[in-house]
Amino acid sequence: MKKKMLGLNDIQYLYEFLFWFVVFFILKKVWHKPEIRMIYG
């Protein structure tokens, strides 16, 4: 098995980035709803 160049911290960082990217994408999709604006605004 080939050793990966990425360490555990790098993978954690990548997952965190992906998580926030998805959250941002979903918020962008539903931002036009007034109840969402009330919750996050």
**Tokens standing for residue 21:** 């990217």
What's the pLDDT tens digit per position in 3-38? 666 677 888 888 999 999 999 898 888 877 777 667
- What predicted TM-score, i.e. pTM, was given to this entire model? 0.48
| Cβ proximity of 21 and 13 under 8 Å | no
| Cβ proximity of 26 and 35 under 8 Å | no
